[in-house]
Structure 1
Amino acid sequence: MRIPLQALRGRGTASSMAHRFSRDVREVADDGWGYTGTLHMPGSVVAERRAEYAEADQGDEGQGWHSSGLIAPATRVHLETARSALCANDSPDIFFELSVNPYRGCEHGCIYCYARPTHSYLNFSPGLDFETQIVAKHNIAEVLRSELAQPRYVPRLVNIGSATDCYQPVERELKLTRSLIEVMQQARHPFSLITKSSGVERDLDLLAPLAAQRLAAVYVTITTLDPVLARRMEPRAAAPHRRLRTIRALADAGVPVGVSVAPQIPFITEDMEQVLEAAHEAGARSAFYTVLRLPWELDSLFREWLSVHYPQRAARVMARVQDLHDLSDAQRGAGKTYDSDFVTRMKGSGLWADLLRQRFAAACRRLGLNREREGLDLTQFRPGLLRGQSSLF
């Protein structure tokens, strides 16, 4: 008998779904003998920490336990020696040209994260492995320093944390993001970063002076103000009210801060205008959004999440997601969920995408968001400072 999926407290997904390169697919089944043991996940472990963050574990039947009696998977951190730091972006729908990500996988566990399928390349599941098997690039700052110091390097807009959150819980201990900011500070290279964590406040001593010189900007993602929904979608990210406090702290320190209301999920996230209003009141002066997109295994993972948390509206949600991407009947019949075309994938196309676009634009006009785009100054870049040379400027 198949064991029905149940939500795991503090985790976004309910299973370690097989990735697309797996040769074998396994299912948990009840053989009639029951189960009282502890689940252990394989892998070469460099550091292991139990997932015991108070906000995620409040109300559990014993710390770290799920009501079914199974221990929720612990977080394991693997150290990786990075060979490169900067990743070029040629997508016309993304505002930055280069990105750097100190971590693979993300303990925040956001169910909608488009980076989940990348864990398949590491032979990890995009499901629970993505949020429990975290890969940390321990030498990322040294590699970035080397790349910025290359004579052929031309300064371009760089974003930190574009794929996985650069301030996820392990950053408290490893401080890789802080080390990246220190390199950018030394080279006087402008950058932006995006996060759902209040951990960014730790680095205000670096960010505030850089922002005053037009060398840094921060974007905070707030998908919804509903704490119950946020707990289900983004179980280990900061609560919505805490992210608003982070926006206020950044703005009060003089750091240009914007809000991302992404992704927009039909019949799930329905308070976009309220999020924009609250973020503006907290000090955000720019905003952007994207619609839900479900590449590769993320399609099945999101459907699985809907079946666990919102079974009555699951079919409706998926149909409207397809509407947002204006899919034809033939595409829907083939099981396609979204259009990956560079031109339309972020904002969607068709009637429902247009309505969403109009809602966003009207709210921004009313609040005065996006009236001025915060420009970062590329002319201050001094690669010689990374090579120990003194500057004449």
Structure 2
Amino acid sequence: MIEARTKGFWRATLALSLGSFMVFANLYISQPLLPMLAESFSLTALEASFSFTITTFMLGLSLLFYGPLSDAIGRKWLMLGSMAGAVLCTLLISQVSSYQHMVILRAIQGFCLGGLPAIAIAYMGDEFARPALTLAVGFYISGNSLGGIGGRLLGGFMGDWFGWSNAFLYMALLSFFLLVIFIYLLPDSKQFQPSRPQLKKVAQDLYDHLKNPLLLTAFLISGFNFFVFVNQYTYATFLLSQEPYNLSASWLGMLFLTYLSGTMGAAFSGRLSGWLSQPAIMALGVCLLIIGSGLMLTSSIGWIITGFLVNAFGFFVAHSNASSWVSHNAKKAKASASSLYLVFYYLGASSGGFYLDIFWRWMGWQGVIFGSWLILVLTLGLSLRLYWYSGRSV
């Protein structure tokens, strides 16, 4: 077993963290480029967002595939194969001249990108001693958030300077470099024991999780929160690229630095758990999302940025507690419960744009905020319902 702070620990942790950075940078690179894609291919806001939402949709679905497959055939080489497929897709996207071909490649890429998130924690569980596991997971999750921010920044700046196709080309080159480092650093699996896939049991476990009201409510809270949160950014890029703001792709990419307040929110929520129950903290996070959305009703770009800072803080407060709640309250098959949580999470991201587009067409940015409030009132109610459920179950 790999012990904490040994050479093997740092090699494996760095490999998985860089791999995580690569995955989420590729996932989110298109978001600041959406107005540019809409102009290049004569698309509506909703049509341009397909290049992002189809990727999150396929990533979410792939999580149910990779977990059982890795239990049967191994962890390391499945992660490598999926990551190599994602890098190849990024390279091919940089060469397309048809938006339909881009969307198809982004769909394939989304499925490939799911390999590492679905398997990395299982790999660490196999190979790391328990004290090392907790430390390594913290670094790995940091790679997730930094990859999301880095991908958007790279997409924004490279797209602004060299065009959207070259943004994907440079991302492919960076991703290939990170993949080579990943291959070199990640130790081979030594503790892995293959097991025959039991599809009937996997399906039964998923069904049992969905029947559990404590878990299902947490799935819905996180899915609907992400449904609103990440797609507000999508429509904000269209708002801020127009009059009177006229922000370039570089500045739109920097908007996603507001995600950094979410890192603080996730850390702060751990302290709150000493005073409040997890459902109460989820409700608090949703309230912050409601307040932050309200701050963005003004036409001041300063207040819009402030609103996103509040929203990111509130979202990650709720998200970190919802994911922990699922892990603690799954009576069996905790890994499949966590996978199902992520399925709801990413399906929320991929479908929220369709919902908010109705309000965008109706009332513009004010409509997006109004539509967001409707969903957030629902998730606030679900959080309070979970608080009531958990109180009864004690």
Give the TM-score normalised by the residue count of structure 1.
0.26
> Which one has more relative contact order, counting CA pairs under 8 Å at least 6 apart?
2
Determine which structure has the larger strand proportion and give its number: 1
